[in-house]
Structure 1
């Protein structure tokens, strides 16, 4: 029998008392500082909690000790901090009383989905119904039980965070290894650049009508993913007019902020706009997959970034892109390089799919374990 089970059997074998949240908290005064103002303030040592995911650090604090912060608009984002801190004007802040503060935080995290579904109301940006929130019933076992639950969940949280960090680091390492291996195979030695892009490719000038486009074959710069991760379905589709047409095996490159490294080898026919370059091979001696590997290399993106124009929203120079020089081997050698990279990419893709799935599984395991620990029978 675990220590927690022993405590429950000894201190609350017949169930625990449920209390309203309002009985377990002292509200803090409403903040007069907005998130935008906090972002502009000098960097400091005290965390400033906003109504979103962002946490700023400023030079002043509004509260000290254990406090819980819940944004009152959008969806519940619950944070806990023990120490000097501040919060934005759209954040509900309160100090836990008559309860272990960390325990109360874990209970609210368990109820987060319920809070989002039942307590946020409105047609536009939803706001929390504070009356419902403060009257929500919370299980309050004896303090010794609360402390033991906090100890268990703190340890489990730490282990989960460490595992997620290790898995994420492994995924990043594999991706860097793939990039290194790709750049090594494509490495251009001095004097070996024998081809200019404009000699073997051109920009597409073909047009496609809007009625032929859908979420799968319209490519805007927004649905091209950063860091060479391909594309996702488009949330915007033109209703009328013509767009630049791309064909299967064309290479599409995001031309806004080239440092984001947006590129995709087309596997269908579709359309795009002026913010995306459509590069089409015109030389039968060039294999599209090989050219894609060349243009998805860090060397090309560094070149494109250096030659981009503009400060706030730099754009790639279309002429400079076509003047990019690289080494083009014979077709047989291109095929060898493609086969080697595809095999290595397959390994990396397996990891890219497997590791995030493992991280998500660990997260669900933690949530299940947390919910089990925080489920009590109500004392009659």
Structure 2
């Protein structure tokens, strides 16, 4: 018998009580903590939060109306998407669509326990549903309420997993910065290295397909104009190429390296090295990552163009050091790329494994028999605050 089972047997032998979430929580609108300025800078001290995936929108220098979550932690809850985050650092809020959830009585129901339990709930949003979710839906959901010693043990175990995941994510961010630093420095050259226009050393082409041709179970990678490739049932090219978005928000930011069979969006570009004895295709890929975006921004500085044109691409300057130096640079950057991007070897794989481990134990620890405690069924003994 593990510790939680022992605690349940000791404090709650006949099962745990379930109550509507609204009975054990308080919510607050973030009106008093809304940010006024949109002048966000990394050097400013106070994060501006949204409950959605972006979470930290930026940092503000405003000093009034800061919520002191370092003293009183909260769960922030997006009323429209049901996304939620645990926050224990001071912040300002971006939108009034966010609820700030706290426990009515921490001596009986831990807020961190509520947070972990919320993570077990599947999304029930219907497309086009814009109602306020907390009052209309989530406050009525029933939460199991074991005695506080059980809650504390569950929180202790699950926090270990989230802390480990947070440490890995912090390491990943540090490694990404290290990767970018080395990439930019290794791929910055002086006058001693010859440069050639992209149109001279590569063949440049486009694809044949639209995004709606993607399949859920396609056999071949289908590169559209986003960072995540799709799939498709047939291929158009079998080659080694570098791919980039031809228009949209991915211009200058989305790059792929492919060696093999693939299909391509009609508004994406493919670059095929003409002479591999002069230019390593992987070196070209890393060179794009380091320099292409700044080149595009300079070319488009006086216009609102968000698409690439062939004449612009042909002029892009590629510095071509000796092939041995290209191979050395590629070997170094490949190691960094594996560490920060590989889902089969690097830190992303480790983070994904830890997240699955957390989810497994969360489901196990928070699975209580769902029944109401009646007058005939003894309730869990209430804990007396020390």
TM range (shorter): 0.5 to 0.7
- The residue that corresponds to 2:300 in the other structure is 309
TM-score by length of 2: 0.64
Post-superposition offset of 1:252: 3.7
1:1-380 aligned within 5 A = 4=4, 7-28=7-28, 30-32=29-31, 38=36, 40=38, 49-53=49-53, 54-55=55-56, 59-61=64-66, 65-81=72-88, 88-100=95-107, 103-117=110-124, 120-121=125-126, 123-124=128-129, 128=133, 130-166=135-171, 169=174, 179=183, 183=187, 190-193=191-194, 197-201=198-202, 203-204=204-205, 214-215=213-214, 220=224, 222-223=225-226, 225=227, 232-233=229-230, 248-249=239-240, 251-254=242-245, 260=253, 262-265=255-258, 267-268=260-261, 276-279=268-271, 285-287=275-277, 290-294=280-284, 296-297=286-287, 301=292, 304=295, 307-310=298-301, 318=311, 321-322=314-315, 324=317, 326-327=319-320, 334=323, 351=339, 352-353=342-343, 354-355=345-346, 356-377=348-369, 380=377
Contact conserved, 1:18 with 1:140, CA < 8 A, in 2?
yes
Post-superposition offset of 1:364: 1.6
Higher RCO (C-alpha 8 Å, min separation 6): 2
> Could you list the runs of 5+ residues in structure 1 that have no partner in the other structure?
226-230, 236-244
Post-superposition offset of 1:52: 1.9
The 1:286–1:22 alpha-carbon spacing in structure 2 relative to 1, beyond 3 Å, is: closer
Contact conserved, 1:52 with 1:77, CA < 8 A, in 2?
yes
Contact conserved, 2:246 with 2:269, CA < 8 A, in 1?
yes
The 1:269–1:166 alpha-carbon spacing in structure 2 relative to 1, beyond 3 Å, is: closer
Measure, in 2, the Cα distance between the counterparts of 1:151 and 1:170. 29
The 1:24–1:40 alpha-carbon spacing in structure 2 relative to 1, beyond 3 Å, is: same
Equivalent position SS for 2:357: helix
Which digits, 9 at most, give the CA deviation of each residue in 1:248-277, with x for residues without a partner?
Answer: 445444466875363545745756556x55
Contact conserved, 1:308 with 1:316, CA < 8 A, in 2?
no
> Could you list the runs of 5+ residues in structure 2 that have no partner in the other structure?
215-219, 378-386
Cα RMSD, aligned residues only = 5.0
Equivalent position SS for 1:13: coil
The 1:337–1:266 alpha-carbon spacing in structure 2 relative to 1, beyond 3 Å, is: same
The 1:124–1:209 alpha-carbon spacing in structure 2 relative to 1, beyond 3 Å, is: same
- The residue that corresponds to 1:242 in the other structure is none
TM-score by length of 1: 0.65
Aligned residues: 346
Measure, in 2, the Cα distance between the counterparts of 1:10 and 1:69. 34
Q: Comparing both structures, which one devotes a greater share of its residues to helix?
A: 1
